[in-house]
Chain A
Amino acid sequence: QKEVEQNSGPLSVPEGAIASLNCTYSDRGSQSFFWYRQYSGKSPELIMFIYSNGDKEDGRFTAQLNKASQYVSLLIRDSQPSDSATYLCASRRGNTPLVFGKGTRLSVIA
């Protein structure tokens, strides 16, 4: 059974701090990994994706992938109250459907 595990949270960080969101995946054949942000009552919005081991930066967001440890993380620098949302991690093998984790709720305290 392919699974993606995330801590449900809530993860509370003060405004301006770095928020660190983590997930692990069970399918070693997974090739691509995605982070989505979902505000309450809204649909998930793609933040970024990563294919290769290491870091990938996009603005305030950095995705990190360690395939040996089957671990993916998302760092949010200079966290803002508007970053408060549920963050979904997903993995994918080839062209098969994404496998989603249940999400981590992030709360940024002003």
Chain B
Amino acid sequence: SQTIHQWPATLVQPVGSPLSLECTVEGTSNPNLYWYRQAAGRGLQLLFYSVGIGQISSEVPQNLSASRPQDRQFILSSKKLLLSDSGFYLCAWSGGTVSYNEQFFGPGTRLTVL
């Protein structure tokens, strides 16, 4: 079966500090990978998606970046966090060798920037 991991589960960071969130998928190969942010009481905002190693599409210009160093690993980063970066960060996957079209979310990372 397929499993998606995200860590850390919660994070409190000061403004201006760096950020690195990691997501890994098990049980499938060559998945599409996604990063979303959900601000308190708001909808899901797609930040980045990747259809393969080293291929990143950015949906929203901001101080965040993403990388995909391995087939099933997706990393979200920032050099300097802003207060507005607070939110619930969700990694998701779809496609690959198992799923055709369904998209599955990881457990999420709740980030608070103070």
Q: Are B43 and A100 in contact (CB under 8 A)?
A: yes
Q: Which chain B residue has the least Cβ–Cβ distance from A102?
A: B43
Contacts of B90 in A (CB 8 A): 43-44
Nearest chain A CB to B94's CB is how many angstroms away? 8
What 0/1 pattern do residues 91 to 105 of B give for CB contact below 8 A with A?
A: 000010000011111
Nearest chain A CB to B65's CB is how many angstroms away? 18
- B107 adjacent to chain A (CB < 8 Å): yes
A44 to B93, CA, bound (A): 12
Q: A95-B95, A100-B44 are in contact. Are A43 and B105 (CB under 8 A)?
A: yes
Contacts of A102 in B (CB 8 A): 42-43
Q: Are A46 and B43 in contact (CB under 8 A)?
A: no
Contacts of A32 in B (CB 8 A): 101
- A59 adjacent to chain B (CB < 8 Å): no
A106 to B95, CA, bound (A): 30
Chain B interface, number of residues (Cβ within 8 angstroms): 21
Nearest chain B CB to A43's CB is how many angstroms away? 4
Q: Are A97 and B95 in contact (CB under 8 A)?
A: no
Q: Which chain A residue has the least Cβ–Cβ distance from B6?
A: A43
Contacts of B101 in A (CB 8 A): 32, 49, 92, 95
The interface of chain A, by Cβ under 8 A from chain B, is 32, 34, 36, 41-46, 49, 88, 90, 92, 95, 97-98, 100-103
9 pairs, A vs B, C-beta closer than 8 Å? A36-B105, A42-B107, A42-B108, A43-B90, A44-B90, A46-B102, A90-B103, A100-B43, A100-B44
